[in-house]
Amino acid sequence: MPCQRRTGAIRDDLRSPENYLGHERTENFSSSVAASAGERRVYPEPAPLELNHWAPSGDWTMGQKVLTLNREGGRITYRFHARDLHIVMGVGVPDAAVRFRVRLDGRPPGAAHGIDVDEHGDGTLREPRMYQLIRQPKPIGDRDFEIEFLAAPVEAFSFTFG
């Protein structure tokens, strides 16, 4: 019998490692525009991503430990292989709420939605914490995830998978 993780994910289904979004520790950043710590950049829509690669699109600033959205409409795209996808994020203004929309392979997640979004992929960011955005049923395969923020500022810190 396959070994189980604490989250209940079967190890064979988990092929995506945790990844930080700040310049200091991020891996597999994939954009035609180079990231530079502390500099505001407008990133284009990414080309198709390889497994465990990610890319922002829109107006972002990549700090040492955080990726900050400067204007509404920014997105983060990630190609992953896991049952669950989580993101640690927060609103850049105290007591604000930011609506966001999640897509899985270009469509609303439906039955694969996590506890922090509905089946249409809609969610609201209210406080800094880890948000579960995807919890997909089997079969688990390589999937394209996208989150679009309908307002700014937003701070994104890391992706984790289970």
Checking if the pLDDT of 5 tops 70, the result is no
Checking if the pLDDT of 13 tops 70, the result is yes
pLDDT of amino acid 9: 46
Checking if the pLDDT of 7 tops 50, the result is no
pLDDT of amino acid 26: 94
Checking if the pLDDT of 4 tops 90, the result is no
Q: What is the mean pLDDT of the chain?
A: 93
Q: Which tens digits make up the pLDDT trace of 105-156? A: 999 999 999 999 999 999 999 999 999 999 999 999 999 999 999 999 999 9
pLDDT of amino acid 3: 34
The set of residues, in sequence order, having a beta carbon less than 8 Å from that of 111 and lying 6+ positions away, is: 119, 136, 137
pLDDT of amino acid 11: 63
- What is the domain partition of the chain in residue ranges? 15-34+41-161
Encode the chain in three state secondary structure. CCCECCCCCEHHHCCCCCEECCCCCCCCECCCCCCCCCCEEEECCCCCCCCCCEEEEEEEEECCCCEEECCCCCEEEEEECCCEEEEEEEECCCCCCEEEEEEECCECCHHHECCCCCCCCEEEECCCEEEEEEECCCCCCCEEEEEEECCCCEEEEEEEEC
Fold of 15-34+41-161: Jelly Rolls (2.60.120)
Mean pLDDT in residue range 65-77: 98
d(CA 160, CA 86): 5
d(CA 161, CA 42): 27
pTM: 0.91
Say what percent of the chain tops pLDDT 70: 93
